[in-house]
Chains A and B, each alone.
Chain A
Amino acid sequence: MKAIHYINQFFAGIGGEDKADQTPIFHDKLIGNSNLLNGMMPDIEVTNTIVCGDNYITNHTDEALKEIFAWLDTKEFDIFFAGPAFMAGRYGVGCGIMCKAVSERYHVPVITSMNEENPGVEEYKAVAYIFKGGRKATFMKADLTPMAAFAEKIAKGEELLPAAQEGYFPRGIRAEIPQPDGIIAADRVIDMLLKKLNGEPFQTELIIPKMEKIPPAAPVLDLSKATIALVSSSGVVPIDNPDRIQSASAQKWGKYDISKLDNLPPEQFKTIHAGFDPAAMCAVPDRGIPVDAMRYFEKQGKIGKLHDWFYTTVGTGTTQAFAAKFGKEIAQELHDAKVDAVVLTST
C-alpha cells in the first residue's frame, strides 16, 4: 500500500509562526517526521510529504485545497496521514481539514493524532481516525506508533476494533458485535447489574454522547411588556409553501407575517411535515403553531406583544448541524427585532 503524509511548516523545518502563511509544497521525497512514520510500517510505503503553513490551510482553505487536490489527483495512494498535531490548535484544525477533504474526495482511510484538548478533535473526530496524542512534540514517536500500527492493520486487512480499543477518539458510530467473547446479551446485562449493585465500575454498551449544556437564559422580568415570538419545527407554512421547505430532512427555514392575523386559517396555512399524519394540523394549523392562543394572551395583557413573524421548519430527519444553523440564524433575527422570549413548538 502507498500513503501520503501531510505536515505543517514547523515540522517540515521551514520555520515557525513567521512561516505559517506558507503555501502548499509537494515533495517527491520524505520530509521531517514522514521518515519516522515510514520506518514504522513494513507493509506501507509513504511516498510523498505535503507541507502547508497552518495559517494558509486554515485561512485560505479553498485555495489550499484546490492546489493540493490538483497535485493529489496525479498521485496513487491508499491511506492518508496528517500530523501528529499534539496540542497545536491551528495545526490540529489543518490536519482535520485535510483529512476530511481527502476522505470525501478520494475515499481512503485518513489517520491523524491530536491531544484531547486540541480544538481539531471536537470538530473532526467524526470524519477521521484521530488518535489520542500527547501534548507536545516530545511525544512524536509515541503518537506516530499507534497511527502506524492501525494503518498496518488496514493494510493487512485485519479486523478493526472499537475506538476505545484502537486508541482513537470515538467517531459516533455504533457497530453491532454479535456475542463479544461468546457471552450473550442477557448474561452481560446481569453482569453489569451485579457490578452496579456491588458498587463496582461497569461500562455500558450503549453510550449516549453527552450534549453540551446550555445554561438557562435569564427569565423575562415582565411578561406584560415582553415581545414573544413563535418558532416551530411543526412544518406549518403558508399553503403554497413559498420557500419550498423540505417535508423531511429540512435544509432551510421560513418566516411568515402574522401581524394581521388572529389565528392561522386552514385556507392560508397547512403543515408540510412528513413525519406524522397531517390531517389534524392542516384542519387547524393553530394546533401546531398556536397563534390564536398567543393573540388571546396579548389581548388579555398577559404578554406585551406577539412578534409579527413566526419562524418555521420541519423537524423530521433534520440533522443536528442544520438545526443548529437554523437556530443561530433565527436567533440573530430575533435579536435584531428585539424579541424578548420564544415559545418553540415541536412535534
Chain B
Amino acid sequence: MAREIERSGIPVTMMCNLIDVAKTVGANRMVQTVSVPYPLGDPELSKEAEWQLRTSRVGAALDALATKVEEPTVFPSKF
C-alpha cells in the first residue's frame, strides 16, 4: 500500500516493527514501532510514559514527511 501511495506522488512514512521487511518492499521513509501487538504504545508503561512514546514516534514520522530523502531512510525517535 505504501508503495502505491508513494508512486502516486504522496509521501508516506511507514511506521512498522520489522524495518528490514519495510526496506525490502520499498518503503522510503520509516520509523520503527514498539511491537507488533501495540505499535504505538506499551501497556506496561504509565499513561504519561506511553503518551510520550506515542507522540515521539508519530512526531518523528511527521518530521520524516517534511524531509527530503534519496534512498530508504530510517528516522530515529527519542523514545
Residues of B with C-beta under 8 A to A222:
66
Contact call B12/A344, Cβ cutoff below 8 A: yes
Contact call B66/A331, Cβ cutoff below 8 A: no
- A217-B6, A286-B54, A297-B59 as given contacts; A343 in contact with B65, CB under 8 Å: yes
Residues of B with C-beta under 8 A to A323:
1
Q: Interface residue tally of chain A, by bracket?
A: 35 or more
For window 314-347 of A, CB contacts with B under 8 Å fall at 323-324, 326-328, 330-332, 334-335, 339-347
Contact call B3/A342, Cβ cutoff below 8 A: no
Contact call A324/B54, Cβ cutoff below 8 A: no
B8 and chain A: residue at smallest CB distance:
A331
User: Measured between C-beta atoms, what is the minimum distance from B30 to chain A in Å?
Assistant: 10
The answer for the CA separation of A288 and B47 in the assembled complex, in Å, is: 16
Contact call B43/A280, Cβ cutoff below 8 A: yes
Contact call A208/B3, Cβ cutoff below 8 A: no
The answer for the CA separation of A323 and B66 in the assembled complex, in Å, is: 25
Is A213's beta carbon under 8 Å from chain B?
yes
The answer for the CA separation of A288 and B58 in the assembled complex, in Å, is: 11
Is A100's beta carbon under 8 Å from chain B?
no
Is A278's beta carbon under 8 Å from chain B?
yes
Contact call B3/A293, Cβ cutoff below 8 A: no
The answer for the CA separation of A32 and B62 in the assembled complex, in Å, is: 62
Scan B1-43; emit 1 where CB is below 8 A from any A CB, else 0. Answer: 1111111111111111100001011101100010011111101
Contact call B58/A219, Cβ cutoff below 8 A: no
User: Measured between C-beta atoms, what is the minimum distance from A149 to chain B in Å?
Assistant: 36
B34 and chain A: residue at smallest CB distance:
A287
Is A12's beta carbon under 8 Å from chain B?
no
The answer for the CA separation of A341 and B12 in the assembled complex, in Å, is: 6
User: Measured between C-beta atoms, what is the minimum distance from B17 to chain A in Å?
Assistant: 7
- A219-B68, A293-B40, A334-B5 as given contacts; A342 in contact with B24, CB under 8 Å: no
Residues of A with C-beta under 8 A to B10:
217, 331, 334-335, 339-342
User: Measured between C-beta atoms, what is the minimum distance from B32 to chain A in Å?
Assistant: 11
Is B61's beta carbon under 8 Å from chain A?
yes
Is A151's beta carbon under 8 Å from chain B?
no
- A287-B41, A302-B62 as given contacts; A344 in contact with B2, CB under 8 Å: yes
Interface residues of B (CB under 8 A from A): 1-17, 22, 24-26, 28-29, 33, 36-41, 43, 54-55, 58-59, 61-63, 65-71
Among all A-B residue pairs, the 10 with the closest Cβ atoms: A327-B4, A287-B41, A327-B1, A331-B8, A216-B28, A217-B11, A293-B58, A280-B38, A341-B65, A287-B38
Interface residues of A (CB under 8 A from B): 208, 211-223, 226, 228, 231, 233-234, 275-281, 283-284, 286-288, 290, 292-294, 296-297, 302-303, 313, 323-324, 326-328, 330-332, 334-335, 339-347
